[in-house]
Amino acid sequence: MFAAVALLGAIVAVVLVGTVGRYVGRPVVWSDEVAQALFIWLAMLAADLTLQRAGHFRIDVLVGLLPPRLRFLLELAIKVTIAVLLVFLVYYGMRLVRLSDPRPLPMTGVPSSFAAAALPVAYGLMIITVVEQIVRHWRGLPEVHGERDVM
Amino acid sequence: MLTLIAVLFFVFLAIGVPVAFALGLATVPVFMVGDYMPLTVAMQRMYGATQSFPLLAVPFFILAGNLMNITGITDRLLTFARLLTGWMVGGLAQVSIVLSALMGGISGSAVADAAMESRLLGPAMARRGYATGFTASVIAFSSVITATIPPSIGLILFGFISEVSIGRLLLGGVVPGILMTAVLMGVTSLVAHRMGYEPELAERPAFREVAASFFDCIWALLFPVFLLIGFRFGVFTATEAGAIVVAYALAIGTFVYRELTWDNLIAAMRDSVFDIGMVMLIIVMAAVLGHALTIEQAPHAITGFLAGLPGDKYVTLFAVLAIVFLAGTVMEATVNVLLVTPLVLPALVHVGFDPVHMGVVMIILVSVGGNTPPVGVIMYTVCGILKCSFADFVKWSWPYVVAMVVLIAAMALVPEIVLFLPDHLM
């Protein structure tokens, strides 16, 4: 949570520096690149945080019509399926990181794998989140919901 | 291959899998089974989707809207709206509509606006004896104005996804937003007269009072003007504008209204992070689908089908708007902007419609979809806060639905309503 808030602040600052720099005649060549590299981390960590609060948009009208027992099983199956998907995404995400490792970003020279690593890391965190939710679900505990809706 | 992806996607969607994961679950297995392309390429697309400088505008405007809410601007705008329209019949309902229009200039999110107004005005409206269904409908429909007047997150996303000028789109939202305010106020006045709802203020306020309140919120009211001037003269890009806006909100909160504290700054950033998380995961997952669609030349096929409908271009227009409206009733507005509009826009452009014109019309249409069953995020939010049943909401909302449909049809058929400002100013 703290990391995501800090990243958001950092991105705003970097883009501002870039904009102001252009106007005072000292363009900051690395600002776009750094902002984008930070952005993928922000986006992916935020996606996990949203998952923790069950904030990803879903259509639950049909599910609501099912009898409780069936609904319990369906919800369980959905969570397990998502966990399996995430395992694949982590695996292939790591391959992408390995592939992109030797390629430096044009301005800063930082290996682009630093940015690409956001994918497997965040998918990994999401696995933890989903497994947690499966355990809660199994014990019959209610889902954790955010108090605020999205957009 | 695509049929399989589509079937999987809709099945997952229907059984309640979140949209972002339904996208992943529909595409990833298909990639693995066929020797379609390696999954590493899919990961590459996910990575590529986030490496876009224009896309950064979205988190910035989400953050700026949340910041403005905590700087004390909202309360000042409410005072101003109350003085402007509180003396009318059904005063508080009119206040809610005008407040949405004023908020539209600093916030780009309909749901945030609807939630804020339900908490702020809902209890007062109940005390005045307004029916809950009426209160909920007014607040829900007026929030569409917020999503139309610049900055509008829906329009920015649309511009990014469909590669349409964001500056022109935002300018195009101005006149429809103002028209919508007038139309909703007219409908509200009719309903309020019939129900005999009393005004909020006993008499019209003195001009001096209104002027004082106007200057109190001048910083918020100047904001959209400042933004549009910046775009018009190309002083900054949408992304840079977003960062500047965040700085502007911080400066006003700290130096002008002095209501910004460290705690609520962090709270606003946290709220923004959650909003960003949902939008971005869909963009990331949809990038893989987008790649598959392109390989299969699906957009080409869809364009061919829609543009080839018998009759003139208005048949195509009607078909597309019907699809978008149906999608709007079952899916959330952002999701529709990301998934549906890029597929149907090329057909409209092909038969001769302007992408900016169509963009504004479609964004308003999907926002209205947030107020209709079976799935309406604005409706859920408002009814949740106000403790209003969906049946009650629907009963009171039909005059507004009719008014909006007529207004949207007018905007679709008379492009000048949308294009007047962008054509003359840009």
Per residue in A22-45, pLDDT (tens digit) is 777 777 777 878 888 888 889 898
Give the count of beta carbons closer than 10 Å to the beta carbon of residue B390.
16
A119 chain-B contacts, CB cut-off 8 A: 43, 46-47
> Do A8 and B18 count as a contact with CB atoms less than 8 A apart?
no
Q: Sorting pLDDT into bands at 50, 70 and 90, what band is A151?
A: very low
- Whether A147 shows a pLDDT value over 50: the answer reads no
B278 to chain A, closest Cα gap in Å: 5
Return the structure tokens found at B91. Answer: 């005063």
pLDDT at B358: 95
Complete DSSP assignment for B158-202: HHHHHT--HHHHHHHTHHHHHHHHHHHHHHHHHHHHHHTPPPSSS
The answer to whether residue A17 neighbours chain B at the CB level (below 8 Å) is no
What is the average pLDDT across A114-132?
90
What pLDDT, on a 0 to 100 scale, did the predictor assign at position B264? Answer: 84
- CB of A41 less than 8 A from some CB of B: no
pLDDT at B87: 85
Higher pLDDT, A71 or B182: B182
Q: Closest residue of A to B377, CA-based?
A: A149
C-alpha distances (whole Å) from B300 to each of A115, B230, B303 are 33, 36, 5
Biggest alpha carbon–alpha carbon distance for chain A:
66
Q: How far apart are CA B177 and CA B334, in angstroms?
A: 18
Residue A145 confidence (pLDDT): 62
Which DSSP string corresponds to A68-127? Answer: HHHHHHHHHHHHHHHHHHHHHHHHHHHHHHHHHTT-B-TTT--BTHHHHTHHHHHHHHHH
**Mean pLDDT in each 10-residue stretch from start to end of chain B (426 residues)?**
83 87 86 73 83 80 80 83 86 90 80 83 86 92 90 87 87 93 93 84 83 84 80 76 84 81 85 82 84 76 82 88 87 82 90 93 91 81 84 91 94 92 83
Q: Do B21 and A62 touch (CB under 8 A)?
A: no
